[in-house]
Structure 1
């Protein structure tokens, strides 16, 4: 596992680029104009969901950039701004294309002939709109479930991060206590050595004094014998 401070940012950025490439193909491809009616609406709904995922990736990138060292953070800020600009551009493009589809639907519905009210569903177009509404409801339910899943995953990740931080804090406190204990032991050992050194110097002085006294006594004895 890559433990570099930029690893998670790079991973989220890679996921974001994958979403953006897929979105760009659906919104900017030449064959997108060939899609009509419900087919194009379904494509735009999928693009909307993918933009939500891309937006989530950008949010994660904003969180991870806080842990990047200051020496290289400027580069990642630039990459984050580029990602935000791409995301905003495709959101605007999606809005424009949705308006175009809505206008096409409005023009198409106005061209439909008047139908009798004997048929509870009206024309086939009415049935198609009913099915499209059901499909949109299902898509909305799926998006809600996906949002709930992402929220739960984010909550789990947050809990794991808090647990790791708590463990690290306990380790730091334990290390600090150990260092304090070691410092106290070193101070005691230093004091003991100083006492031993002073005692050694005292013993040397006493020994030197005894030797001097003995030499003087021997000298006096020899002097008394010769005199």
Structure 2
């Protein structure tokens, strides 16, 4: 299974393109084609188009959700793809609205031609029930698989988040211990600095006392010499 951050986005985009292709074929064939048939048949085809437009809209919503998990370095290109998908979806929504208006005008112009049997207004049609059911089952399975994948990714993300929180807690304790150690070292340095200042001050005091004693001794020697030589 592809666990890349863009896997789900690509899957939704592929489903969107398949739905748009189906809409395009119905619009060009069953609704707008020259052999489109009577109004009830065209209405049924248009209803199927509207259902598929809702599915395509859902795919675009899922793409917008998945793009939030895509890395910033490649996100702009995927945002461009979403804008293109939205533009294409809006184009077909407008086309469906215009076709509705055309059918409404055709109904106002007059009733169906006599001799034509009433066609089924069922949007699925008897011949396409099995195909539609299989497609719906496959779409449901795909949705279930994507939901399970999203849950798995959410659990992994939650576990990673818990590991990160534990790691941050340990780092915070280490930083707190280092800060306490630095505080104690700073206090010891302050004490040592004070002791050194006292020692230096005492050293200067001792030097002054020693110098004073030397001066007194020299003075006394000079006095003794003067007394012996000149008396």
Instruction: Please give the TM-score of this superposition, normalised by the length of structure 1.
Output: 0.58
Give deviations 1:190-222, integer Å, cap 9, x for gaps: 222121111111101111111211121222222
Q: 2:177 aligns to what?
A: 181
| Contact 1:16 1:57 (C-alpha < 8 Å) held by counterparts | yes
Q: 2:64 aligns to what?
A: 58
Alignment of 1:124-203 (within 5 A): 129=126, 132-203=128-199
Q: 2:210 aligns to what?
A: 214
| Contact 2:15 2:59 (C-alpha < 8 Å) held by counterparts | yes
More off after superposition, 136-145 vs 11-20: 11-20
- Structure number with greater Rg is 2
Alignment of 1:22-37 (within 5 A): 22-28=18-24, 32-33=28-29
More off after superposition, 177-186 vs 73-82: 73-82
| Contact 1:20 1:54 (C-alpha < 8 Å) held by counterparts | yes
Partner of 1:110: helix, strand, or coil?
A: coil
| Contact 1:13 1:57 (C-alpha < 8 Å) held by counterparts | yes
Deviation at 1:140, TM superposition (A): 2.5
Gaps of 5+ in 1: 1-6, 101-107, 113-127
Give deviations 1:120-176, integer Å, cap 9, x for gaps: xxxxxxxx93x6323333333222222211110111111122122222222222222
Work out the CA distance in 2 between the residues paired with 1:29 and 1:162: 44
Number of residue pairs aligned between Structure 1 and Structure 2: 189
Distance 1:74 1:139, change over 3 A: closer
Distance 1:94 1:174, change over 3 A: farther
Distance 1:182 1:207, change over 3 A: same
Give deviations 1:93-126, integer Å, cap 9, x for gaps: 68999xx9xxxxxxx97379xxxxxxxxxxxxxx
Work out the CA distance in 2 between the residues paired with 1:23 and 1:141: 15
In proportion to residue count, which structure has more helix?
A: 1
